[in-house]
A = this chain, B = another copy of it.
Amino acid sequence: MSSAPSFKRLPRAVREQQMLDAAVKVFSRRGYHAASMDEIAEDAGISKPMVYAYLGTKEELFVACLQREGTRMTEAIAGAAAPELPADERLWRGLRAFFGFVGAHRDGWAVLYRQARGEQPFAGELAAMRARLVEVVAGMLDHALRAEGREIAGTELEVVAYALVGASESLADWLADHPEADPERTATRMMNVAWLGADQLLNGVTWHPSAG
């Protein structure tokens, strides 16, 4: 009857994104358990039965958030670290992409790494995501080693990668809690620790991005 802009009857895909936006926001602020479906629905400007119809139960909704944010982050990082570059350059670009993402999606990060960690049903999902990331980093290191004709036991490499990922996550948490902090500088700091180690840092050696 009318072509006036109606705020209802939006296409399903749009609605779902609105809901996920609201869910990520509420989950990150309240935590998984303390978040109520009521609040999420209200924040999305929609009624509760709609949320259930579109995205299923609370658990499924949280997983959907996890996956959307996880995919976004993974893609951001993967798109940055091209395999043909030297190892330090790849690591640097990966870190820059990672901290850039966290800085721009602090809510998403909170859902991903703060809430999902402690809740039994999601720990697995999260562990899988982190495992993929660790594998990428380990592959990076392995690639560099093989280029020099050397090799390290898989487990050993994995643990190193795990530590690097963990350190990055911790700095990311710090970044998420400090809105005034600069993602780029944080990435540089992480790069220094990761690439040079405490020993060299203590000896005055530092690493700097080459061009930027």
Q: Smallest Cβ distance from A89 to chain B, in angstroms?
A: 13
Secondary structure at chain A's binding surface: helix, strand, loop or mixed?
helix
Q: A34 within 8 Å of B by Cβ? A: yes
Copies of this chain present: 4
Q: Smallest Cβ distance from A37 to chain B, in angstroms?
A: 14
CB pair B87 A160 closer than 8 Å: no
Encode A87-99 as 1/0 by CB contact (under 8 A) with B: 1100100000000
CB pair B193 A196 closer than 8 Å: no
Q: A118 within 8 Å of B by Cβ? A: yes
Find chain B residues with CB under 8 A from A168 CB.
Answer: 163, 166
Q: A48 within 8 Å of B by Cβ? A: no
The 7 A-B pairs with the shortest beta carbon distances in the complex, nearest first, are: A166-B170, A197-B197, A33-B33, A167-B167, A196-B197, A163-B167, A163-B193
Given contacts A159-B186, A164-B198, 11 further A-B contacts (CB under 8 A): A31-B33, A34-B119, A115-B118, A117-B118, A150-B204, A160-B198, A163-B170, A195-B197, A196-B199, A197-B201, A200-B200
